[in-house]
Structure 1
């Protein structure tokens, strides 16, 4: 298996060591210490097919290496992690994880909790020593390298300054001579000396022109060198800032997890280690080939030229007033059980099929319905609150575009598949007293599966969408193509926006660590003003030097004139900048002429909320997602919270959940057959091409929107009145 990921290039280290005799006393992880070396057997997670495999690990000089057996130590190292840059995390009593900045991840299991603690202690001590040594050597090398580069650049710039000084002296000299000749020419009477004087003036004018050209060329060289090194220094400074921010975040997480361990293990005889970031399980290590890594581009907005002016904005700089929550929402759900399942035994016969037609056990799911995932689009509702206050439709477009990008931020680690909603299933999200909005979703069609969503805010906006998912399993990856339209309307301005979603791709379905990418283009259109924002989600490429998950966009008016640029990533943050000037640049890779925008200083418009503590054990749910399946009184009997198979899965009772899932699906098929029989009785000879299932949604009706030109299900009202009255007799029995 050949794998590429991470932000920095690494080379596998092959260590030469003496052959060691196998440990005595069975096959457990019995670590042995000799001077600065610690070694022993551990079980290492390889992939979903092989599971955990017994490997011989050696800790020496700040490097953790492993081999298939002790005899390999003299010739074949299977992998090495430098502890100086590694994160060490405890999963449970016997399991722990070592991750090298996201590039390499080892999921390890010891034979006992005591043995695991011995390894953790040895690893932490080795890491601390390796960090000290690396800091000392790195500081010396960096200081020398940086000093040498700066001195070389200063020498080059100094020589160019001397050239400019020499050219300046020559220009002054020849300019004075030319001026004297011109003065003499003015006082000269017409006569035989006229030709000689004119020749002198011409000669001196030529010298002056040559010297001036030399001066101009020297200035151009100086400017080119200065600009080149200025960009490099700016990029280096930006890299240092990003590294400092990452370090601060890591230290903050370290402190939180250290406190958590102290509470959990208070009274233990062995001091527990502190934790750094924990990566999700499922990384299949490459035990036969070298791993390859490529640099990512540090600057995601390199195509923009900035000046030092600040961005004038009509939006409020202070955050909106937060309403006091009326109830305390939950912050945890039961940890995800560690169930092993052979994916290939289920997926090998499903290549090329629609995802909705594949009988999937709950082992591949997360304990949320697709309707609840759809409601998660509202996590960053504040962007629409701010958009509703904008006086400028172009600036409002920036906030709407940032909202469309923010909906993908929850998917970056969410490799679990949401439950397919049953026909007639609903989900309400009532945050009217806490956040000023409420939403209702309903599964309005089964073939093809389609969900309708309506959200209303007291802050002056309405969001509605109908999403149908088309998906194909391709063997190595799964493509999910959302079909349907999303619309947002603002009460104050009557601006009506619409857009569609991009393609989601889940990679490494059978072997390897699952990872998700978003790719494609989105056009957000204001149907009232003609404004448009074209967003481009760049697909991840092993060979691209762009920052992963990059998103760029340009906001234009109805005449096509660009006013704002947006840039960032769909999993972290977005910025927007006002365009002051645009010009045509060099041709791009496809022969098209690029446009270069000169903008004001960028302003952050959206940033992803941090995940809650322990999210890696809770399906990587956000704080909002943790509350979506929380039991709540007064909801409709068709609400996703009442779905029994989903509830059993959340509680960790997966076998019972699978049985319930099969029962619900068979009940849905039986109900559909009865509905089709009734439809045939009512219309014995249906029209050609029509479907005998005449199901009608309960809370939504299908209409043609004349503004956007889309046909979709729109909320027809009645749900919240029914909830207030507690009258649900019209709801079908689906659970």
Structure 2
């Protein structure tokens, strides 16, 4: 009996000091944004249920013990009461007996409450177990159904594309002036096409192409135009410019082929709906071996458009080339559905290509949450470009929205023309079912703040119910008086053309009472056409010729340069398992650095300002200034980088890798 009592006592202590509840405690010192908790797996759930069942058994044992020992105590007191003892002791015994009776009554009440609790717990435990099993079965069934739907979707796509008269690639180059035809012509779709709901025709104008002689007659009746189309042929004709590869440095033309790793994107993304993507740790399997800084630099692939725009003496002609350049930056994204690496705070990337491209470019990651990069470009041909881009991205369940925030500045030194515009929204579709594909949508306004010329560009989202070409872009270039001079049209993945306007008039209202402007134009002139992809591009992440060279190792770069990032380098070499391990190490190093800044600020400033100050990272090569044109604070290049490179002095650079 004594041994059993010791075991019973140990059981009670075990129940009271159980560590089971510790599983549900949260460590407030952890950074939720940096280290999102992983969902509990089935084994952990079953383990928790098992522990709770054991504790219920312990409670039942305690219940039995209290009843048993309470009855034994009562019997012992009754035996003492029957003995002949002095009257004084009898009084004390009576008090003890009364207290024992109260203890028995209280114990019985507790025993009854415990029995009720056990019965209720057992009943609901069975009910919860059945509900949990049902939900688990439904989840497995749903995942199997989605997987089956994805397979059927891909099979149908392949079967449809293999049928006679199946869809051709909509990215086929448009013939001259073909984008100016009416909506009655059929457009073709490829297997990447996603179908949106019906939408109204987004083009707010209609163009009519006429011969040059007729246009000059019509033009003569309405007064002289600002540009002589014939004299502009040599400027606004993309075919007349062929970039020369005069670089003495031999650049690489291929990278290791992408390994055939299979990983279910939905298995990771399904728990992240509505969250900021930069806060979701993801394996390198979903990345491409370039950082966001390198992707930002890749916008300069068609820099020759700006080199050519320097020679424009007419601002509206120059605007056409600037608009074509702004559209060309999206051409590299059409097949690039992989995610670039999120740069480390303080990471940089330089593109020192004065010899072949005539420019120098520098990017620096100036903020981690939200992710923000500052960029500055100097061209020896007479222009400069700078921007600070903050990437806001959300997973919406069926698609991912990527919204670049921030203004892009372009200035031509000779004329003083200063252009400002912002980027459009990118959307990655078919996250759950089907083949991933990307689309661009939204309006872009480019403003020349010196002359007040404007260009309105519209990226038309693709719709099954619209007969417009896929990835279509339209636009109108107007002067400071609001008079339209050029119509722009094409596609953001292939080419852009411009047509000079010689006459404009309002059309008759349609059935909805809406009215469009009818532009009479000359035949279209090519502004820009996309370069063909390198051979074997489909096995090299669909990188362009420039993209293949961006991560090529170079001597003399800063120790914070993206080329030196180890996880990105390992991924490029196809060693993805090692890359994932290295990526985790770098992320933990960045978290540790952030905590140290937090501790330093907490000791220095204290209070609520500590958290705010911990995020106030000071960039090395850029500084915050007020943008007088936009009225926003933005990081602008403060100088010193190229001088440090020339001196080979990088002592000021942090150790981030």
Q: TM-score, normalised by structure 2?
A: 0.68
Query: What does residue 261 of structure 2 align with?
Result: 339
Q: What are the Cα deviations for residues 332-364 of structure 1, in whole angstroms up to 9, with x where unaligned? A: 111111111122221111011011111111111
Query: What does residue 556 of structure 1 align with?
Result: 478
Confirm whether residue 442 of structure 1 aligns to residue 364 of structure 2.
yes
- Residues 648, 292 of structure 1: CA spacing in aligned structure 2 closer, same or farther, 3 A cutoff? closer
- Residues 423, 301 of structure 1: CA spacing in aligned structure 2 closer, same or farther, 3 A cutoff? same
1:526 and 1:471 map into 2 onto residues whose CA distance is 29
Confirm whether residue 305 of structure 1 aligns to residue 208 of structure 2.
yes
Please, which of 621, 624, 631 is the counterpart of residue 543 of structure 2?
A: 621
Query: What does residue 163 of structure 1 align with?
Result: none
Q: What are the Cα deviations for residues 440-478 of structure 1, in whole angstroms up to 9, with x where unaligned? A: 000001121100010110110001011111111011100
Higher relative contact order (CA 8 A, sep 6+): 2
- Residues 450, 658 of structure 1: CA spacing in aligned structure 2 closer, same or farther, 3 A cutoff? same
Q: What are structure 2's unaligned runs of at least 5 residues? A: 1-143, 171-176, 214-228
- Residues 578, 715 of structure 1: CA spacing in aligned structure 2 closer, same or farther, 3 A cutoff? same
Contact 2:195 2:463 in 1 (8 A): no
What root-mean-square deviation, in Å, do the aligned CA atoms of Structure 1 and Structure 2 show? 3.6
Query: What does residue 439 of structure 2 align with?
Result: 517
Query: What does residue 177 of structure 1 align with?
Result: none
- Residues 79, 684 of structure 1: CA spacing in aligned structure 2 closer, same or farther, 3 A cutoff? closer
1:689 and 1:563 map into 2 onto residues whose CA distance is 52
Contact 1:48 1:340 in 2 (8 A): no
Confirm whether residue 669 of structure 1 aligns to residue 591 of structure 2.
yes
2:471 and 2:161 map into 1 onto residues whose CA distance is 26
Query: What does residue 698 of structure 1 align with?
Result: 620
Q: What SS does the corresponding residue of 1:623 show, helix, strand or coil?
A: coil
Q: What is the 5 A alignment of 1:179-258? A: none
Q: What SS does the corresponding residue of 1:303 show, helix, strand or coil?
A: strand
1:366 and 1:293 map into 2 onto residues whose CA distance is 28
Query: What does residue 684 of structure 1 align with?
Result: 606
Please, which of 418, 421, 437 is the counterpart of residue 496 of structure 1?
A: 418
Report the alpha carbon displacement of residue 323 of structure 1 after superposing the two structures with TM. 5.6
Q: What SS does the corresponding residue of 2:587 show, helix, strand or coil?
A: helix
Q: What SS does the corresponding residue of 2:461 show, helix, strand or coil?
A: coil
2:375 and 2:464 map into 1 onto residues whose CA distance is 37
Q: What is the 5 A alignment of 1:17-416? A: 49=147, 79=159, 82=162, 101=168, 303-309=206-212, 311-314=229-232, 315-316=234-235, 318-319=240-241, 322=244, 324-416=246-338
Contact 1:573 1:608 in 2 (8 A): yes
Q: What is the 5 A alignment of 1:462-477? A: 462-477=384-399
Q: What are the Cα deviations for residues 251-296 of structure 1, in whole angstroms up to 9, with x where unaligned? A: xxxxxxxxxxxxxxxxxxxxxxxxxxxx99xx89xxxxxx99999x
Report the alpha carbon displacement of residue 393 of structure 1 after superposing the two structures with TM. 0.8
- Residues 411, 292 of structure 1: CA spacing in aligned structure 2 closer, same or farther, 3 A cutoff? closer
Please, which of 477, 498, 509 is the counterpart of residue 587 of structure 1?
A: 509
Query: What does residue 656 of structure 1 align with?
Result: 578
Confirm whether residue 711 of structure 1 aligns to residue 633 of structure 2.
yes
2:525 and 2:247 map into 1 onto residues whose CA distance is 30
Query: What does residue 482 of structure 1 align with?
Result: 404
**More strand per residue:** 1
Please, which of 402, 413, 428 is the counterpart of residue 506 of structure 1?
A: 428
2:464 and 2:656 map into 1 onto residues whose CA distance is 46
**More helix per residue:** 2
Contact 1:496 1:528 in 2 (8 A): yes
Q: What SS does the corresponding residue of 2:508 show, helix, strand or coil?
A: strand
Query: What does residue 644 of structure 1 align with?
Result: 566
Contact 1:323 1:433 in 2 (8 A): no
Q: What SS does the corresponding residue of 1:518 show, helix, strand or coil?
A: strand
1:388 and 1:349 map into 2 onto residues whose CA distance is 50
Report the alpha carbon displacement of residue 78 of structure 1 after superposing the two structures with TM. 10
Q: What are the Cα deviations for residues 634-661 of structure 1, in whole angstroms up to 9, with x where unaligned? A: 1111111111111111111111111111
1:588 and 1:687 map into 2 onto residues whose CA distance is 59
Confirm whether residue 605 of structure 1 aligns to residue 527 of structure 2.
yes
Q: What is the total number of aligned residue pairs between the two structures?
A: 484
Contact 2:598 2:611 in 1 (8 A): no
Q: TM-score, normalised by structure 1?
A: 0.61
Report the alpha carbon displacement of residue 681 of structure 1 after superposing the two structures with TM. 2.6
Q: What are structure 1's unaligned runs of at least 5 residues? A: 1-45, 55-65, 68-76, 87-99, 104-230, 244-278, 285-290
Contact 1:676 1:694 in 2 (8 A): no
Report the alpha carbon displacement of residue 710 of structure 1 after superposing the two structures with TM. 3.4
- Residues 589, 667 of structure 1: CA spacing in aligned structure 2 closer, same or farther, 3 A cutoff? farther
Query: What does residue 729 of structure 1 align with?
Result: 651
Larger radius of gyration: 2
